Structure 1
Amino acid sequence: MQTDTARGLSLISVPFLYAVLLLAGPLLTILVFSFWSQDYLTVDRTPTLENYRAALGEPIYRTLLLRSLGIAGAVTLITVVLAFPVAYYVSFRVHPSKKPLWLFLITIPFWTSYLLRIFLWKVMLGYNGVINSALEGLGLIDEPLRFILYNANAVVITLSHAFAPFAILPIFVALERIDRSLLEAARDLGENAITTFLRVTLPLAAPGVVAALLIVFIPTVGDYITPAQVGGPGGKMIANFIYELFFSLNDRPMGSALAVVAMAAVTVVALAVLWLGRRLGGAR
């Protein structure tokens, strides 16, 4: 037993140290920095909570954080709502021999660079872009739409497309694990298609839905590239301002405090999603 334990510890020691050095180390550094203060190039290492008071009290910081949470929530909701029917169709309607092909097609967006996809959406949503040109050509609008680029709407549209495969795949896996005999039993007991879905399919698929919600929500809150390219002033998110604090305004402690506050907010939302998922899964 001791030999097996030693062998197991030796196997996990390298990845554990790797995780500590490259994950926990930077997080700990950010946490320590958040309690310091900086005046241009001079860092005062005297512990202080002033950065957190500013992060929670200044209107600009609250606005950016709430905007980031709102955009991430909208992206998550839109992505999961649109991903569920796709995953359901592939799981329940597509022949088993053709499912690998469908999954292959779903993952095609991963073949191209994330930055390239953002640029493509920037071209499509532009004032003279593909969407506006098509709508004008069809006579549906008289002048180009201005609300689909350089604002929060553009960020939501771009991120919803970028994270769609991340939502489809976990939902599909959860649906594939459902015992089809349970659905047949529900129909035999008098349930119709809607009540069978609500009382059997959806609760059993809850782990996949929760996984999709978290996989989409967590990275979108801290996304930097998309708001920088298509967001404009009205679509700027918390990650963009943290970047400016670190590299433009030279205030790393304040940027670290904002990063910690953002991580704390994401943690609270993630725990709430897990709790709701557990309630939904236990409702069957």
Structure 2
Amino acid sequence: MLQDGPSKSAHRTGRRWRDSDEATGLALISPTLLYALALLFLPVLIVIAYSFWTQDYLTIDHTFTLENYRIALTEPIYRDLLARSLVIALVVSLVTVVFSYPVAWFISFHGGVHKNLWLFLITVPCWTSYLLRVMSWKVILGYQGVLNTGLMSTGIIETPITSLLYNSNAVVITLVHSWAAFAILPIFVSLEKIDRSLIEAAHDLGDNKVMSFLRVTLPLSLPGVISAFLIVMIPTVGDYVTPKLVGGKDGVMIATAIQAQFGKAANWPLGAALSVTTMVVVSAMAGLVVLALKLFVRWIR
């Protein structure tokens, strides 16, 4: 009887857990969770496996090799493309967050009963095709586009500006516009969760509007800022449509080289190695940016 005591107790504990709401909820989401994890990790594992192989025309050699990573890390063209992609992604993310924060702050603190309307208007551009939005900027920034035509009609310039399109600046402008809504929404949600009485308490203790923003509003909204930054930066590095349409030779990014390896070059292992290298570097960069944001907020407080 003494030997059966712990066993029966563990059995009763396990039975209680199986009958609990937590176990029921886990059982309900398990199929979906496993399906999502499979869709997330299996493609990544396949890409990692390809990165250690070689390809001769259409024949894959499954012999383990690090040659693809040597090329990805030592060839100047790929190093330069990766460095340019990281710089563009960082600039796009910073500019997008800086411009999106005031919009989200205005809607949260001054939107009143029209908050849903403002959010609706912000998401309207996302209803159109991403390709159409990129092409619209090509029309705006073109040699005979809307911007040049407007500046010439007002007499500000006499001849069209040729440096507006087919460079990295055009890529930054287009991507900032394309990802603005995706940055506004998480910042808005974070601002909505802030207890307004904390801001009032800061005012009562002598802080002006600027100091209360720096000490209360900004630190409490930091999760939304970090989410917005990551939501913008990570897909930006992998975007090859925008650089191809508005970037020209000066706006080419690493995703274009990856797409070329999987496409015309038919060198999937090298494309996989470039993808894995980019993924690792972007993850490290994202971690450093998040740490820098947290240290900045701690410093200003």
**Which residue does 1:188 correspond to in 2?**
204
- Could you tell me which residue of structure 2 aligns to residue 240 of structure 1? 256
C-alpha displacement of 1:9: 4.8
| Structure 2 residue 75 is the aligned partner of structure 1 residue 58 | yes
TM-score, normalised on structure 1? Answer: 0.94
Shift of 1:101: 0.9
Q: Residue 21 and residue 230 in structure 1: after superposition, are their counterparts in 2 closer, same or farther (change >3 A)?
A: same
Q: Please, what TM-score do these two structures have when normalized by structure 2?
A: 0.89
The corresponding residue for 2:3 is none
Return 5+ residue gaps in structure 2 as ranges.
1-16
Q: Does 1:157 pair with 2:173?
A: yes
Q: What is the match of residue 245 of structure 2?
A: 229
Matched, 1:174 2:190: yes
Cα–Cα, structure 1 residues 145 and 32, in superposed 2: closer, same or farther, change >3 Å?
Answer: same
1:69 is aligned to 2:73 = no
* SS of match in other structure, 2:165: coil
Structure 1 stretches of 4+ moved >6 Å: none
The structure that has the greater radius of gyration is 2
C-alpha root-mean-square deviation of aligned residues, in Å?
1.6
* Match in the other structure for 2:64: 47
Structure 1: gaps of 5 or more residues: none
Q: Deviations over 1:38-81 (max 9, x none)?
A: 12222221111111111111110011101111111111111111
The answer to whether the aligner puts 1:271 opposite 2:287 as a matched pair is yes
CA contact 1:51–1:253 (8 Å) conserved in 2: yes
The match for 1:35 among 28, 47, 52 is 52
1:224-246 deviation line (CA, Å, top 9, x unaligned): 21111111111111111101011
* Count of matched residue positions in the alignment of Structure 1 and Structure 2: 283
Structure 1 partner of 2:126: 110
Please tell me the residue identity of whatever aligns with 1:73.
L
Q: Percent identity?
A: 56
Q: For the residues of structure 1 that align with 2:111 and 2:155, how far apart are their CA atoms?
A: 38
Residue type at the aligned position of 2:190: A
Quote the offset at 1:279 in angstroms: 3.7
> What are the equivalent positions in structure 2 for 1:196-215 lying under 5 Å apart?
196-215=212-231
Indicate the residue corresponding to 1:87 in structure 2.
Answer: 104
